[in-house]
Amino acid sequence: MSYTEVPGVNVPIRMWTDPAAVEGQAMQQLRNISSLPWIAGLAVMPDVHLGKGATVGSVIAMKGAVCPAAVGVDIGCGMSAVRTSLTTRDLPDNLTRLRSRIEQAIPVGRGLHDQPVDPRSLHGFPTAGWDDFWSRFDGIADAVKWRRERAMQQMGTLGSGNHFVEFCTDTSGSVWLMLHSGSRNIGKELAEHHMGIARGLPHNQGLVDRDLAVFIAQTPQMAAYRQDLFWAQEYAKLNRTVMMKLFQDVVRKEFTRAKVSFDDVISCHHNYVSEETYEGQELLVTRKGAIRAGSGDYGIIPGSMGTGSYIVRGLGNEAAFNSASHGAGRKMSRSAAKRKFGVRDLEEQTRGVECRKDSGVVDEIPGAYKPIEKVMAQQTDLVEVVAQLKQLVCVKG
């Protein structure tokens, strides 16, 4: 579909979904965003839903300013996926042991590694730049420097919430590895630190929503935020890289006879800031729950833990600031999902998937999410499908 343009305050709101289907609070958030003095454009993805300050599924282009809440607290959160040489013919009937070994290799929830992962121990890990990355930790905000040891131990861990590791198959029978995670606790603390600073700045006092507070270009506060932001985005990417190597090592050991090989890894952020140029203007583009989908860019759009996911290639639609959705998007809150569904519903909706089926993950039940097929149908002018995946194993945080 093409977008529907809804009037905003300072810019129109371009929506790749039916505006009538968007919850009232989310629409008000979008109007609030459109009222920011620095706004240059606003695109809304089909997985849009209510967020903290800024709406999830929004692409916000600003001139000379950036809004920390439009990135979110999980700076650099995103996806990685890789096709393997395995096919469904190589797989046993029971994948319980594989799931157990994944969980042993990759800490989930609040778990962390007993000792920081040594990248030199990981098969094929690109170690160039690793020491330089950690040396730059000394330059981040003083308020979080005491978290260094924890940040190192959390490198290569999944986290909780909607984060996951999946062992999937595509429609041709090829096996894929996929995972979803971000910058862990260090990214969250950096985000909250800078959001607090932004809310106190004089130029933000008259905003309709103080959570939309911004940093302005060529100020010390902006410089400090950008330094920490880009470091946290790099942490998130490295975190996924370490996890993918750990995942690949598990698969190699589990399928020794198959001598598994892997294609190049596809990786994309979906909570981040990027410097981009549109119509001759240099803009700061914030994607909160959206991926970059420039012409030829590969991306990953997951559904829920019982449905499936898509590997896509961007079509370069500049009306959407070269973006697409980051997933199916929630249609109800976690608390609402827990009220509506129980363990039996979870068991039914994840039938055929080796995964947790207990009360601790009911809030991630497929019924809490929008239908991924509908979300994909609403963005055919943003991406083309390269592969359609269905999970066989899902490890949740």
Predicted confidence (pLDDT) per residue in 49-87, tens digit: 999 889 999 999 999 999 999 999 999 999 999 999 999
CA distances from 243 to 123, 238, 250, 259, 279 (A): 12, 9, 11, 20, 39
Identify the band that residue 134 occupies on the pLDDT scale cut at 50, 70 and 90.
very high
Amino acid (1-letter code) at residue 123:
H
Catalytic residue IDs: 326
- Give 293-314 pLDDT, tens digit per residue: 999 999 999 999 989 999 999 9
Residue type, 51: G
Q: What is the DSSP secondary structure assignment for residue 245, as one 8-state letter?
A: H
Return phi, psi of residue 346, to 5°.
-60, -45
pLDDT single digits (tens) 164-173: 999 999 999 9
- Residue 369 pLDDT: 95
Average pLDDT, the chain: 96
- 102, pLDDT greater than 80: yes
Q: Please give the Cα distance from 258 to 138 (Å, whole number).
A: 44
Q: Is 13 exposed, middle or buried (0-12, 13-18, 19+ CB in 10 A)?
A: buried
Residue 107 C-alpha from the chain's centroid: 18
Q: If you average pLDDT over residues 5-26, what whole number do you get? A: 96
The number of C-alpha atoms within 13 Å of 146 and in the hemisphere containing its C-beta is 1
CA–CA gap between residue 165 and residue 382 (Å, rounded)? 26
Using the predicted structure, report yes or no on whether residue 280 has a pLDDT greater than 80.
yes
Instruction: At 134, give phi and psi (nearest 5°).
Output: -70, -30
* Rounded distance between C-alpha atoms, residue 333 and residue 73, angstroms: 17
pTM over 0.75? The answer is: yes
> Is the pLDDT at 1 greater than 80, yes or no?
no
Residue 259: band (very low, low, confident or very high) from pLDDT cuts 50, 70, 90 = very high
Question: Considering the chain, what percentage of its residues have pLDDT values greater than 90?
Answer: 96
Q: Name the β-bridge partners of 15.
A: 4, 44
What pLDDT is attached to residue 2? 84
**What's the whole-number mean pLDDT along residues 85-109?**
97
Within 13 Å of residue 11, how many CA atoms lie on the same side as its CB? 22
Work out the widest C-alpha separation in the chain, in whole angstroms. 65
- Compute how many other C-beta atoms are within 10 angstroms of the C-beta atom of residue 359: 12
The rounded distance, in Å, linking the Cα atoms of 60 and 272 is 11
pLDDT for 397 beyond 90: no
